[in-house]
Amino acid sequence: MSLTSAHSVVAPSATSKRVAGTIIVAYALISIVPLLWIFATSFKTPPDSIAYPPKILFQPSVEGYCNLFTTRTRQTPEYINSLGPATGLCDETVRKRNMVIAGPSNFMPRFVNSLIIAFGSTFCAVFLGTLSAYGFSRFKVPLADDLLFFILSTRMMPPIAVAIPIYLMYRELGLSDTALGMILLYTAVNVSLAVWLLKGFIDEIPREYEEAAMIDGYTRLQAFWRTVLPQATTGIAATAIFCLIFAWNEYAFAALLTSGTAQTAPPFIPTIIGEGGQDWPAVAAGTTIFLVPILVFTILLRKQLLRGITFGAVRK
Amino acid sequence: MLNRTADSVARATPEPLARKVRGISDKGLAWLFISPTILLLLAINIFPLFWAIYLSFTNFRANRPNEVAKNLGLANYKRILADQDIWIAMQTTAHFVFWTILLQTLIGFTLAWLIDRKFRGHAFWTTIILVPMMLSPAVVGNFWRFLYEPQIGLFAYAVSFVTGIPATEISMLSNVSLAPWSIIIVDTWMWTPYVMLICLAGLRSIPEYIYEAAEVDRASNWRQFWSITLPMALPFIMLAVLFRGIENFKMFDMVNLLTGGGPGSTTEVASITLKRQAFESWRTGYSSAFAIILFVAVFGLANIYVKALNKVKQR
Judge whether A115 lies within some domain: yes
Looking at the fold, whether A221 and A174 belong to one and the same domain comes out as yes
Judge whether A165 lies within some domain: yes
- Closest C-alpha among A303, A306, A280 to residue A48: A280
- Per CB-CB distance under 8 Å, the chain B contacts of A27 are 111, 129
Judge whether A90 lies within some domain: yes
- The pLDDT of residue A81: 83
Burial class, B93, CB count within 10 angstroms (exposed 0-12 / middle 13-18 / buried 19+): buried
Looking at the fold, whether A76 and A212 belong to one and the same domain comes out as no
Burial class, B11, CB count within 10 angstroms (exposed 0-12 / middle 13-18 / buried 19+): exposed
Q: Do A249 and B138 touch (CB under 8 A)?
A: yes
Q: Which of A5, A25, A27, A250 to mutate to test the interface with B (most CBs of B within 10 A)?
A: A27
Q: CATH number, domain at A228?
A: 1.10.3720.10
ipTM of the complex, rounded to two decimals: 0.87
Looking at the fold, whether A158 and A251 belong to one and the same domain comes out as yes
Q: pLDDT: is B23 or B127 the higher one?
A: B127
Segment 221-260 of chain B within 8 Å of chain A by CB = 221, 236, 239, 243, 246, 249-250, 252-253, 256-257
Q: Which long-range contacts (CB under 8 A, 24 or more apart) does A55-58 make?
A: none
The one-letter amino acid code at A103 reads G
| Number of helical H runs and strand E runs in chain B | 16, 0
Which of A77, A105, A133 is at the close of a domain?
A105
Looking at the fold, whether A101 and A113 belong to one and the same domain comes out as no
**Distance separating alpha carbons of residues B90 and B87, to the nearest angstrom:** 5
**pLDDT single digits (tens) A55-75:** 888 889 998 999 999 888 888
Judge whether B270 lies within some domain: yes
Q: Which of A7-11, A282-286, B146-150, B164-168 has the lowest mean pLDDT?
A: A7-11
- The pLDDT of residue B10: 52
Could you give the 3-state DSSP secondary structure of residue B61? coil
Highest mean pLDDT among A11-20, A85-94, B160-169, B271-280: B271-280
Q: What is the mean pLDDT of residues A248-256?
A: 92
Q: pLDDT: is A20 or A51 the higher one?
A: A20
Say whether the peptide bond before residue A53 is cis (omega within 30 degrees of 0). yes
| Alpha-carbon distances of A196 from A93, A137, A150, B231, rounded to whole Å | 51, 10, 11, 27
Q: What is the mean pLDDT of residues A151-177?
A: 86
| Alpha-carbon distances of A161 from A181, A294, B53, B186, B274, rounded to whole Å | 17, 28, 11, 24, 7
3-state helix, strand, coil in chain B (%, to 5): 75, 0, 25
Q: Do A157 and B41 touch (CB under 8 A)?
A: no
Residue B51: how many other CB atoms lie within 10 Å: 16
Burial class, B220, CB count within 10 angstroms (exposed 0-12 / middle 13-18 / buried 19+): exposed
The structural domain count of chain A equals: 2
- Per CB-CB distance under 8 Å, the chain B contacts of A139 are 26-27, 29-30, 33
Write down the mean pLDDT value for chain A. Answer: 87
Looking at the fold, whether A120 and A252 belong to one and the same domain comes out as yes
**Distance separating alpha carbons of residues B249 and B259, to the nearest angstrom:** 17
Kindly state the helix (H) or strand (E) to which residue B122 belongs, with its residue range.
Answer: helix B122-134
Segment 113-152 of chain B within 8 Å of chain A by CB = 114-115, 117-122, 125-140, 142-147, 149, 151-152
For chains A and B, CB pairs below 8 A equal 315
Strand-pairing partners, residue B159, are none
- The pLDDT of residue B1: 43
Could you give the 3-state DSSP secondary structure of residue B265? coil
**pLDDT single digits (tens) A287-306:** 999 999 888 888 888 788 87
Residue B260 has pLDDT above 90, yes or no: no
Segment 47-76 of chain B within 8 Å of chain A by CB = 47-49, 51-52, 55, 62, 65
Looking at the fold, whether A151 and A197 belong to one and the same domain comes out as yes
Residue A188 has pLDDT above 50, yes or no: yes
**pLDDT single digits (tens) A79-103:** 888 888 878 888 888 888 888 888 8
Judge whether B16 lies within some domain: no
Write down the mean pLDDT value for chain B. Answer: 87
- Closest C-alpha among B161, B173, B142 to residue A53: B161
Total number of residues shown for chain B: 315
- The pLDDT of residue B118: 84
Q: Do B24 and A221 touch (CB under 8 A)?
A: yes
Q: What is the mean pLDDT of residues B153-164?
A: 88
Could you give the 3-state DSSP secondary structure of residue B58? strand
Highest mean pLDDT among A21-35, A133-147, A195-209: A21-35
**N-to-C CA span, chain B:** 55
Looking at the fold, whether A96 and A239 belong to one and the same domain comes out as no
Q: What is the mean pLDDT of residues B136-150?
A: 89
Q: By percentage, how much of chain A surpasses pLDDT 90?
A: 38
- CB within 8 Å of A234: residues ≥ 6 apart: A201, A304
Residue B62 has pLDDT above 70, yes or no: yes
Q: Do A158 and B252 touch (CB under 8 A)?
A: yes
**Distance separating alpha carbons of residues A252 and A31, to the nearest angstrom:** 25
Which of A105, A120, A149 is at the close of a domain?
A105
Q: Which of B4, B41, B55, B110 to mutate to test the interface with A (most CBs of A within 10 A)?
A: B41
Beta strands, E only, B208-262: none
Q: Do A184 and B44 touch (CB under 8 A)?
A: yes
Looking at the fold, whether A158 and A255 belong to one and the same domain comes out as yes
**Distance separating alpha carbons of residues A176 and A167, to the nearest angstrom:** 7
Q: Which of A138-152, B198-212, B273-287 has the lowest mean pLDDT?
A: A138-152
- The pLDDT of residue A1: 40
Q: Domain range for residue A150?
A: 108-264+297-309
Judge whether A242 lies within some domain: yes
Q: Domain range for residue B270?
A: 78-314
Q: What is the mean pLDDT of residues B120-128?
A: 89
How sure is the predictor about B8, in pLDDT bands with cuts at 50, 70 and 90?
A: low
- The pLDDT of residue B13: 53
Say whether the peptide bond before residue B235 is cis (omega within 30 degrees of 0). no
Within 13 Å and on the Cβ side, how many CA atoms surround A142? 4
Q: By percentage, how much of chain A surpasses pLDDT 70?
A: 96
Q: pLDDT: is B69 or B254 the higher one?
A: B254
- CB within 8 Å of A246: residues ≥ 6 apart: A186, A189, A190, A193
| Alpha-carbon distances of B255 from A257, B267, B291, rounded to whole Å | 18, 8, 18
CA of residue A118 relative to chain centroid, distance: 8
Residue A313 has pLDDT above 80, yes or no: no
Looking at the fold, whether A119 and A224 belong to one and the same domain comes out as yes
Burial class, A46, CB count within 10 angstroms (exposed 0-12 / middle 13-18 / buried 19+): buried
Looking at the fold, whether A56 and A177 belong to one and the same domain comes out as no
Q: CATH number, domain at B143?
A: 1.10.3720.10
Torsions phi, psi of A262, nearest 5?
Answer: -105, 10
How sure is the predictor about A316, in pLDDT bands with cuts at 50, 70 and 90?
A: low
Residue A5 has pLDDT above 90, yes or no: no
Tell me the whole-structure pTM to 2 decimals: 0.87
- Closest C-alpha among A137, A7, A38, A312 to residue B201: A312
The structural domain count of chain B equals: 1
Judge whether B297 lies within some domain: yes
How far is the alpha carbon of B217 from chain A, nearest alpha carbon, in Å? 12
For chain A, the three-class secondary structure string (H helix, E strand, C coil) is: CCCCCCCCCCCCCHHHHHHHHHHHHHHHHHHHHHHHHHHHHHCCCHHHHCCCCCCCCCCCCCHHHHHHHEEEEECCHHHHHHCCCCCCHHHHHHHCCCEEEEEECCHHHHHHHHHHHHHHHHHHHHHHHHHHHHHHHHCCCCCHHHHHHHHHHCCCCCHHHHHHHHHHHHHHHCCCCCHHHHHHHHHHHHHHHHHHHHHHHHHCCCHHHHHHHHHCCCCHHHHHHHHHHHHCHHHHHHHHHHHHHHHHHCCHHHHHHCCCCCCCHHHHHHHCEECCEECHHHHHHHHHHHHHHHHHHHHHHCCCHHHHHCCCCCCC
Residue B207 has pLDDT above 70, yes or no: yes
Q: Do A151 and B3 touch (CB under 8 A)?
A: no
The one-letter amino acid code at B251 reads M
Judge whether A70 lies within some domain: yes
The one-letter amino acid code at B87 reads W
Looking at the fold, whether A198 and A238 belong to one and the same domain comes out as yes
